[in-house]
Homo-oligomer: A and B are copies of this chain.
């Protein structure tokens, strides 16, 4: 079983002080509460920058998580229950994705689902299956030690040692409960608290690759070793 973590990604509703920013007057007039709106740089960039929002270059990009997740959950590996998927956010929320979960491709439906998850902490299917579970105040180290409990944690980052993805995938597939970590942020590097948990850190390309490209290629290469 492969464990895939999309780490240091952003998924949060709009912080209260941001909501009161003059540039978001129209939003307030729409009658939506802050807890009904995902923080999104496409719309809240000015407010994010001018209120000096901490760590703002990594925040407000739920689209990155959405597309990486769509790619991960559509793979035969996941569909065959041979991969567990976890999401770790920059504000230390962890989301455990259940088996056979389908995330809506429609962003607007995805947004609604995530807002619901942030409020209720759990998304349960009509048949009572746990689809998504949010564990708040769970930092990356706790995710690894208490939830994933993997033998080896491999981070993929441009700051790692160059190694061919095929070779990394072979290595991972020879482990009992391997874990691979992919960044879910627009640019920059893993936070120190994530980076310090890696047993190995590899770079798979001379240029930075977007999260969904890394997810797709990694899972595909891994599948070659474990699926006929």
Which residue of B74, B104, B209, B220 contacts A74 across the interface (Cβ within 8 Å)? B209
The answer to whether A67 and B70 touch across the interface, beta carbons within 8 angstroms, is yes
Of residues 21 through 43 on chain A, the ones whose CB sits less than 8 Å from some CB of chain B are: 40, 42-43
A106 neighbours in B (Cβ, 8 Å): 40, 42, 63, 107
B108 contacts A74, C-beta separation under 8 Å: no
Is the beta-carbon distance between B63 and A105 smaller than 8 angstroms?
yes
Interface residues of A in 195-228 (CB under 8 A from B): 205, 207, 209-210, 212-213, 216-217, 220
Rounded to whole angstroms, the CA-CA distance of A74 and B205 in the bound complex is 13
CB–CB B213/A42 < 8 A: no
Starting from the known contacts A43-B108, A216-B220, 4 additional A-B residue pairs (CB-CB under 8 Å) come to A40-B106, A42-B104, A71-B216, A74-B210
> Please, how many angstroms separate the alpha-carbon atoms of A179 and B75 in the complex?
24
A109 within 8 Å of B (CB atoms): yes
Count how many chain A residues have C-beta atoms less than 8 Å from C-beta atoms of the other chain: 28
A76 within 8 A of B: yes
Q: Are A205 and B76 in contact (CB under 8 A)?
A: yes
For window 117-138 of A, CB contacts with B under 8 Å fall at none
Instruction: Name the B residues within 8 Å of A76 (CB-CB).
Output: 205, 207, 209
User: When the two chains form their complex, are residues B105 and A67 in contact, meaning their CB atoms are under 8 A apart?
Assistant: yes
Task: For the complex, give the distance between the alpha carbons of A159 and B216 in Å.
Answer: 24
Q: Is the CB of B212 within 8 A of A70?
A: yes
Q: In the bound complex, what is the Cα–Cα distance between A61 and B106 (angstroms)? A: 8
A115 close to B (CB within 8 Å)? no
